[in-house]
């Protein structure tokens, strides 16, 4: 018997062991890693902390289309901050986040560690209609209806205490760590 999409977690579908690299690597070195590993996403880390994400699409839209040299550093083309999802969230919720944020790759976090990457392709492989449904859901909820918030995390420095966290959330227009969020509520 097939399981409903609302019962499948992102951890069950994600690609494991994401490739984490330094922002100091050049575009050429990054592209070579993608090719050698047969992957499409790099997590950029600085000082032992994830600070950005670079996808194969970034190489096309930010490097080739803009005529940037192959010596350009990955930190100069990465998307930051990183939008992430907890490992135990449901696939349908991840699809909604991806649709709402207009992203195709979603790093998966367990505790304080990125443990995988969920891509649109992973979702489509399980349920071809889920992305279209999530896009319709996003349209409905941008038209004034109250949206049910799915837990998503952002990596970076807390704007209250200044500490780095993989679990920042937006609260009153600020990126806040869980500890400061508890104190503010």
CA-CA distances (angstroms) from residue 99 to 21, 51, 139, 183?
26, 22, 9, 31
Same domain, 28 and 50: yes
Task: For residue 43, tell me if it sits in a domain.
Answer: yes
Task: For residue 72, tell me if it sits in a domain.
Answer: yes
Same domain, 132 and 46: yes
Measured at the alpha carbon of residue 143, what is the angle toward residues 5 and 176, in degrees to the nearest 5? 70
Same domain, 173 and 135: no
Position 64 confidence tier, pLDDT thresholds 50, 70, 90? very high
Task: For residue 35, tell me if it sits in a domain.
Answer: yes
Same domain, 172 and 110: no
Query: Is pLDDT above 70 for 135?
Result: no
Taking the C-alpha atoms of residue 58 and residue 77, their distance in angstroms, rounded to an integer, is: 7
Task: For residue 147, tell me if it sits in a domain.
Answer: no
Task: For residue 146, tell me if it sits in a domain.
Answer: no
Of 165 and 134, the one with more pLDDT: 165
Range of the domain at 178: 153-184
Same domain, 43 and 88: yes
Same domain, 21 and 96: yes
Range with lowest mean pLDDT among 101-110, 134-143, 176-185: 134-143
Query: Is pLDDT above 80 for 130?
Result: no
* One-character DSSP codes across 17-85: S-EEEETTSBHHHHHHHHHHHT-SEEEEEETTEEEEEEEHHHIIIIIITTT--TT-BGGGT-B-SPEEE
Task: For residue 148, tell me if it sits in a domain.
Answer: no
- pLDDT of 107: 94
Same domain, 38 and 16: yes
Same domain, 73 and 159: no
Same domain, 109 and 66: yes
Query: Is pLDDT above 60 for 137?
Result: no
Please give the biggest Cα pair distance in the chain. Answer: 52
At residue 170, φ and ψ (nearest 5 deg) are -80, 125
153 touches 176 (CB < 8 A): no
Same domain, 77 and 167: no
Q: How many structural domains are present in the chain?
A: 2
Of 19 and 141, the one with more pLDDT: 19
Query: Is pLDDT above 50 for 46?
Result: yes
Query: Is pLDDT above 50 for 126?
Result: yes
- pLDDT of 112: 82
Its pTM surpasses 0.85: no
Taking the C-alpha atoms of residue 147 and residue 137, their distance in angstroms, rounded to an integer, is: 9
**76-124 confidence digits (pLDDT tens):** 999 988 899 999 998 888 888 888 888 899 999 998 899 999 998 888 7
Of 41 and 144, the one with more pLDDT: 41
13 phi-psi bin (left φ>0, alpha ψ -120 to 50, beta other): alpha
Same domain, 95 and 164: no
- pLDDT of 60: 93
- b/e burial code for range 104-134 (CB count within 10 A of at least 16 → b): bbbbbbeeeebbbbbbbebbeeebeebbeeb
135 touches 95 (CB < 8 A): no
Mean pLDDT of the residues in the chain: 84
Same domain, 80 and 46: yes
Query: Is pLDDT above 60 for 150?
Result: no
């Amino acid at each position: 018997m097939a399981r409903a999409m609302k019962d499948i977690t992102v951890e069950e579908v994600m690609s494991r062991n994401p490739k984490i690299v330094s922002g100091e690597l050049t575009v050429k070195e990054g592209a070579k890693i993608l090719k050698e590993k047969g992957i499409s996403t790099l997590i950029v880390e600085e000082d032992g902390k994830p600070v950005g994400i670079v996808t194969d699409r970034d190489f096309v839209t930010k490097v080739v289309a803009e005529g940037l040299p192959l010596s350009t550093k990955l930190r100069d083309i990465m998307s930051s901050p990183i939008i992430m999802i907890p490992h135990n969230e449901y696939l349908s919720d991840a699809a909604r986040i991806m649709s709402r944020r207009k992203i195709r790759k979603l790093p998966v976090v367990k505790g304080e560690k990125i443990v995988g990457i969920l891509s649109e392709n992973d979702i489509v492989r399980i349920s071809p209609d889920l992305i279209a449904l999530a896009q319709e859901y996003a349209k409905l909820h941008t038209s004034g209806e109250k949206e049910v918030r799915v837990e998503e995390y952002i990596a970076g420095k807390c704007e209250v205490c200044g500490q780095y966290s993989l679990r920042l959330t937006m609260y009153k227009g600020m990126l806040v760590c869980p500890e400061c969020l508890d104190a503010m509520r």
